[in-house]
């Protein structure tokens, strides 16, 4: 079985081997998107059922953590939005770091197109929202239509399979990651209130300690975890949203190896030879100390040759995609349609609803397409291989699937008042569905048109 597996891996084209990590990433994000959809449906049904009061009870269950006088007590919804989402943003931070070091954001030439596209896809939606809400009590929600949900957008894209070029998938992923950077900055600067500078200083002190651990060559995750929790607590009390601590923590995780390729290969071959000589055709047993020792040495070599940031990102992806994000959707997507607009019922023509809906669909499409066209036309970016004009439109529409990040910013924009939250969440869901359907149809027609021309 192992020989067959090796031969299959060896027969793969070089380009397929190079894109394997990216394909695995897309697969996890796509599957996570399906789980998100299911949890969203459950939340909507639950919130509008005769058992809606249990939904509110579920969100407001008090949870207390602490020892002695150091006690932190919050309702479940805040633990989810401030705690679990900090883990989500930690993963986002690791993805950003990877893209900057070795991915699509590694060089200015590579990064220029997705940066310009994402910038256009953030500015135009915000302007559209501001146009409908300027001077009103709801004007603070301008950041809501700026966001892109990478799980849902890649999930829709995966339904098209090989109908779309790989360059489009990479382009959309890069846009979503740059978009996440923009969302993090918006949250930190514009949606943080009552900021305490000295408590921020305490948080940054723990951040510096984590940087020192990195410079000292500490690769074990536990010290980073402990200091990261203290930094999160400091940011939680500082007025800057606690999820920012997750991004900062990710920047401190080592991304290098402690053994070079040549030394790793030599050491593993030596341990493998000893392992084979000690066991022959026999299975590993507790009595064969040489085999166990060789296995331990190979494991140690693999750990030294594997960047901690990559290991953590890979392992964390499953927990975020299949646990944290579904819990977030279950707790935040449950819109009771009998309330909204200050308790007067859902109003789909409210300026909030119109601003978000048009911002995510029209704003994202115009912003991304226009910015991409300008970047390519003036020569600061190259057009990706095999991408037609329709591919840019389809990608821009899929970027209009805001969902997770848009709902998260909604909770921050009006955290002291629920007046506009129901209208905003409904528009986010409606716009995400429409954007996903339109994006799918546009990209599908691009492929069919290409076949007809051929």
Would you say residue 1 has pLDDT above 60? Answer: no
Q: How far apart are CA 203 and CA 344, in angstroms?
A: 42
Q: How far apart are CA 438 and CA 432, in angstroms?
A: 10
Distance of alpha carbon 405 from its chain centroid, rounded? 9
- Angle at CA 257, nearest 5°, toward 255 and 263? 165
**Confidence band of 125 (pLDDT split at 50, 70, 90):** very high
**Confidence band of 341 (pLDDT split at 50, 70, 90):** very low
The Cα-based distances of 35 to 40, 402, 446 in angstroms read 9, 16, 28
3-state secondary structure (DSSP) of residue 136: coil
- Angle at CA 241, nearest 5°, toward 236 and 247? 100
The structure's pTM equals: 0.79
Class of domain 21-71+106-188+315-453: mainly alpha
User: Token pair of 205, please?
Assistant: 């002190």
User: What are 216-243's pLDDT values in tens digits?
Assistant: 989 889 999 999 999 999 998 888 888 8
Chain region(s) in the chain for CATH 1.20.1530.10: 21-71+106-188+315-453
**Confidence band of 12 (pLDDT split at 50, 70, 90):** low
Q: How far apart are CA 75 and CA 58, in angstroms?
A: 9
The Cα-based distances of 366 to 79, 125, 213, 431 in angstroms read 37, 9, 45, 15
User: Token pair of 130, please?
Assistant: 């501001």
Count of residues in the chain:
454
Nearest to 30 by CA among 157, 147, 161: 157
Query: Across 33-47, 204-218, 307-321, which has the greatest mean pLDDT?
Result: 204-218
Q: How far apart are CA 239 and CA 236, in angstroms?
A: 7
User: What are 359-368's pLDDT values in tens digits?
Assistant: 999 999 999 9
**Confidence band of 417 (pLDDT split at 50, 70, 90):** low
Percentage with pLDDT > 90 across the chain: 38
User: What are 366-416's pLDDT values in tens digits?
Assistant: 999 999 999 999 999 888 888 888 999 999 999 999 888 899 899 888 876
Q: How far apart are CA 191 and CA 409, in angstroms?
A: 8
Q: Exposed (0-12), middle (13-18) or buried (19+): which is 375, by Cβ within 10 Å?
A: buried
**Confidence band of 5 (pLDDT split at 50, 70, 90):** very low
């Amino acid at each position: 079985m192992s020989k067959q597996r090796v031969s299959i891996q060896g027969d793969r084209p070089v380009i397929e081997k190079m894109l394997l990590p990216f394909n695995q990433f897309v697969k996890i994000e796509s599957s996570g998107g399906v789980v998100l959809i299911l949890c969203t449906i459950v939340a909507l049904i639950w919130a509008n059922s005769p058992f809606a009061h249990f939904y509110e009870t579920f969100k407001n269950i008090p949870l207390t953590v602490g020892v002695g006088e150091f006690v932190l007590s919050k309702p479940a919804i805040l633990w989810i939005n401030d705690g679990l989402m900090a883990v989500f943003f930690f993963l986002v931070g690791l993805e950003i770091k990877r893209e900057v070091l070795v991915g699509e954001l590694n060089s200015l030439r590579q990064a220029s197109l997705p940066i310009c596209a994402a910038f256009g896809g953030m500015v135009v939606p915000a302007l559209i929202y501001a146009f409908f809400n300027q001077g009103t009590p709801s004007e603070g929600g301008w950041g809501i239509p700026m966001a892109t949900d990478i799980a849902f957008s890649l999930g829709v894209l995966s339904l098209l399979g090989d109908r779309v070029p790989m360059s489009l998938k990479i382009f959309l992923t890069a846009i979503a990651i740059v978009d996440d950077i923009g969302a993090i900055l918006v949250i930190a600067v514009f949606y943080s209130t009552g900021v305490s500078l000295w408590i921020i200083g305490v948080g940054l002190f723990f951040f510096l300690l984590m940087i020192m651990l990195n410079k000292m060559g500490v690769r074990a995750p536990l010290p980073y975890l402990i200091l990261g929790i203290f930094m999160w607590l400091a940011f939680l009390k500082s007025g800057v949203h606690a999820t920012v601590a997750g991004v900062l923590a990710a920047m401190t995780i080592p991304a290098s190896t402690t053994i070079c390729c040549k030394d790793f290969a030599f050491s593993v071959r030596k341990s493998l030879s000893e392992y084979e000589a000690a066991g022959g055709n026999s299975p590993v047993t507790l009595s064969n100390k040489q085999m166990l020792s060789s296995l331990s040495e190979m494991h140690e070599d693999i750990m030294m040759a594997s960047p901690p940031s990559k290991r953590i990102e890979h392992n964390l992806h499953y927990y975020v995609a299949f646990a944290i994000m579904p819990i977030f959707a279950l707790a935040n997507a449950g819109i009771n349609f009998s309330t909204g607009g200050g308790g007067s019922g859902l109003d789909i023509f409210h300026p909030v609803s119109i601003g978000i809906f048009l911002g995510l669909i029209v704003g994202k499409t115009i912003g991304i397409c226009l910015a991409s066209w300008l970047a390519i036309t003036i020569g600061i970016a190259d057009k990706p291989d095999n991408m037609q004009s329709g591919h840019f439109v389809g990608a821009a529409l899929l970027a209009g699937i805001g969902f997770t990040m848009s709902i998260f910013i909604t909770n921050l924009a009006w955290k002291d008042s629920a007046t506009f939250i129901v209208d905003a969440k409904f528009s986010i869901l409606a716009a995400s569905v429409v954007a996903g359907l339109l994006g799918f149809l546009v990209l599908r027609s691009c492929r069919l048109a290409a076949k007809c021309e051929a």
